[in-house]
Amino acid sequence: MINFSIYMPGRLDIGLMSRPSGDLGQQAVRGVVSLGLREGGMKLVAFAGNIALFRLLTPADFGVIVPIAFLAGLVKQFADLGLQPSLIQRGTEPNSQDLRAVFTGQLGLVIIGGLLLFLGGPLVVDSILNAAIDPWMTRVFALSIFLSAFRVVPAALLERHLQFGRLATADILGSFCYFSLGIGFAIGAAGVWSLVIAHVGASIISTLAVVVARPWWPIPTMRLKVLRSHVNFGAKFQGSRIALTIKDSLVPLFAPRAFGASATGLLSWANRVSSQPLVMTQLVARVSLPAFSRIQDNPEQVRRGAELTLKWNAIVTLPAFAALIAFGPEVATLIYGDQWLPAVPALYILVLNSVLVPINGLITPILIAIGKTRVVLTVAVVWAIGAWVLAVGLMTAGVGFLSVPIALAASQAAATMVLIPIGRREFELRVVRRMVRPFVAAVLAGVFGRFVLLPLLTDAVLLVQGCLVVAAVYAGVLYVIDRRALQVELGALRRRDGMGASS
């Protein structure tokens, strides 16, 4: 449902730069387009693959794998220290000593983290789930952590030079591996083990693909003094990522202990479905750090790029959210199966949470790119604490497993109210005036879908067609109410493309 030929915020924000930045702009364009075309197409395959997995496995199966996978990811983040982003963000090109020092530091950290997961992970998972789980389900995840050290430098060099096509290829290979292994073993009645094998296999294949895409000989070094500058930036960056990960850990850590594996599986489904429209947000956020880092000394370019990125991100994500709000129960029963119907209330709340992700998820990498890591870290820590406190309070009040999505959505809204003024202060960001019309168009399209189209949608095929109609109504309404601005922005894009082609 997403038109990648229209949504190219990298083109829009970089395209408005001064002429000397033209080469960088074209690289950003190619980065977003490569990611969009390759990973966007892969998301369609992933959509079908997820449907198969959700139909083959039970909510309890997903409820078991969620805390295991999350714990492995958290250990990997603690073993990172933001060394990869530090290579991307710095203004000067890193030399061979920088690269070797970062690799050596990363290797030492992942060895420690992998051993901790291998030895202590099973006990932690059993405590979270309040049940005895096969310890090898957790231990095999340690393998992917050990291998992650060899990905850091090649991935950083690819991102720094905006070579996202190669990274997208690695992600695609990992996704194919995940669904091939997961569906194959699920059909073979492997249960939770099918998800364990899929996760670990995909991580290994993706890492190997990155290493092949950007060959770099991993030679350790004893000269680690240069790590100080990387750690100074990376620790703050990674601290904010870890804080936000802890905020999001309400599903994999809090829910299993508080509400059980089945409820956790339902929340995981709702969280995954509600985040499906954010594919382009994830791609643009990935490009934003290296792209905005290169123009961090020009606040006017940062402002223009940020505003247009936010607006066009909203333009392509909001119709999908409108369709989810309009057809939530039908999406659950007709596409995924009746066993997921109890998660629909959580889905609605998490859609409201996801609607705000494009704002917060794009302002934060831009702030990091211009060097405001301390600000982002402070916001992230307060955000995480607020989400957990609210979830515990709601659970104590008897709200049930909806405590988790409510806490996530409320804390997301609070973060938005904090980040928008920070963006206005740091680079004069104006969000409301850019995004109000896309939001109005989405509301009208959603109302049309719910009250006009819904009675006609009696099977999965008609449901998909109904979603497309909602998107078409959204596009028509948006064109009517924002025609002049759209024409100006698209006209500027076409002119810039013409200049780039003639140069």
CB 273 within 8 A of CB 411: no
CA dist., res. 393 & res. 2, Å (int): 38
328-360 confidence digits (pLDDT tens): 999 999 989 889 999 999 999 999 999 998 888
Q: What is the pLDDT of residue 17?
A: 30
Q: What is the pLDDT of residue 341?
A: 93
Q: Give yes or no for residue 212 having a pLDDT over 50.
A: yes
Poorest-pLDDT segment among 36-50, 444-458, 468-482: 36-50
Average per-residue pLDDT in the chain?
79
Instruction: Considering only residues 463 and 500, tell me which one the structure prediction assigns the higher pLDDT.
Output: 463
Q: How far is CA 442 from the centre of its chain?
A: 22
Question: Of 246, 343, 268, which Cα lies nearest the Cα of 64?
Answer: 268
Q: What is the pLDDT of residue 11?
A: 29
Q: Give yes or no for residue 314 having a pLDDT over 90.
A: no
Q: Give yes or no for residue 487 having a pLDDT over 60.
A: yes
Q: What is the pLDDT of residue 105?
A: 79
CA dist., res. 391 & res. 346, Å (int): 14
Q: Give yes or no for residue 267 having a pLDDT over 60.
A: yes
Instruction: Considering only residues 91 and 210, tell me which one the structure prediction assigns the higher pLDDT.
Output: 210
Q: What is the pLDDT of residue 154?
A: 84
Question: Of 10, 22, 1, which Cα lies nearest the Cα of 312?
Answer: 10
171-198 confidence digits (pLDDT tens): 888 888 999 999 999 998 888 899 999 9
Entry pTM: 0.72
Instruction: Considering only residues 231 and 312, tell me which one the structure prediction assigns the higher pLDDT.
Output: 312
DSSP H helical ranges for 331-431: 344-369, 373-396, 403-427
Q: pLDDT class for 97, splitting at 50, 70, 90? A: confident
Q: pLDDT class for 266, splitting at 50, 70, 90? A: very high
Poorest-pLDDT segment among 21-35, 324-338, 359-373: 21-35
Count CA within 13 A, CB hemisphere, residue 352. 14
20 contacts: CB under 8 Å, gap ≥ 6 = none
Instruction: Considering only residues 204 and 349, tell me which one the structure prediction assigns the higher pLDDT.
Output: 349
CA dist., res. 14 & res. 295, Å (int): 9
Poorest-pLDDT segment among 170-179, 460-469, 492-501: 492-501
Q: pLDDT class for 69, splitting at 50, 70, 90? A: confident
